Each structure stands twice: as structure tokens, then as C-alpha cells.
Amino acid sequence: MIAGLIFTGLITFLIMEGVAWLAHKYVMHGTLWSLHRDHHIPSKEKGDGFFEKNDWFFIIFAVPAMLFYIFGSLAANPFLFAAAIGITLYGIAYFIFHEIVFHRRLDLRWIKSWKGTYIRALRRAHASHHKHLTPEDGESFGLLIFPFKFLKMEMNK
């Protein structure tokens, strides 16, 4: 049973990359561009505030995890609870890689100093995504999985 719960959490984590990719491409760069737009504005053009409208997506993505925790607890369903943990772990990974490693919104030097090939490729892929200031013609919508060309660029350095 423990192996099944761990497997459920890991699979949910991996599925979340696909969910995030789809939501980023079709919702954030589609119907909810009005919330995501400020995230693509260059830093020097942004106001002094710490938060962006885009930060509402943290809450939007937290709702399924909260519901899985609640219903997993109420129904005594450990697999639903394990899925909630998988969603939460993906949220933590998102926060670390997107907000700290790439956008550097928090001053955590021990994380900011990560400079491995994968991290450099991740930063390059995300930078290519941010060069587009409109919802059209985007690329690299994923967080942890990105087109191989970015990894190849870093490996050939």
C-alpha cells in the first residue's frame, strides 16, 4: 500500500507538468491573459509592488490540492491524499524553479547559486518564453520539461 501511495504522489507530480503546460498555453496565454500579462512585462517597466496579477494562479492551482486534502481526509481515501501531496510538491517545485531560480523574486542565495547544465537550460527555456510580450507565438510553456534544444545548447557550451 505504501508503494501505491508513493506511486500515486509521483504520478500526480508528473501529471501536473502536463496540466501546467496546458493551463499555461491555453488559459494563461488565452482566456486569462489579463491575469498573466503583467508577468511578461520586463522588470524595469513593472511597479514597485512585490505581487503581480499572475500570482492569482498560485491560488487557482492550490484549490485542487486543498480539495483533494479535504475529500481525501473526509473519505479516508489515502490515494486522494497522496495525489494532493503530489500536487503540493509540484507547487513547491514551481515556486523554487520559477519564482526563485528564474525570476529571483526571493533572495535565497543557496538556491540562486544553482548553476548546473539542467538549471542553465531551464533558465534559457524560460527566458525564451518571456521574450514574447503577447499571448501569441509563445514557446516553452512547461516548467520542468522543456524542448531538448535548450539542454543541447547548454551541453554544447
Backbone angles phi, psi at 52, to 5 degrees: -120, 160
CA distance linking residue 144 with residue 17, whole number of Å = 7
Helices 56-74 and 78-94: crossing angle, nearest 10°? 160
Spatial CA neighbour of 122 closest among 92, 98, 139? 98
Residue 94 one-letter amino acid: Y
pTM of the entire predicted model: 0.87
Per-residue tens of pLDDT for the chain, all 157 residues: 899 999 999 999 999 999 999 999 999 999 999 999 988 887 666 666 778 899 999 999 999 999 999 999 999 999 999 999 999 999 999 998 888 888 878 877 777 677 889 988 998 999 999 888 888 878 899 999 999 999 999 998 7
Domain ranges of the chain: 2-155
DSSP string, 91-149: HHHHIIIIIIIIS--S--HHHHT---HHHHHHHHHHHHHHT--SSTT-----SS---HH
DSSP 8-state class, residue 31 = I
DSSP 8-state class, residue 53 = G
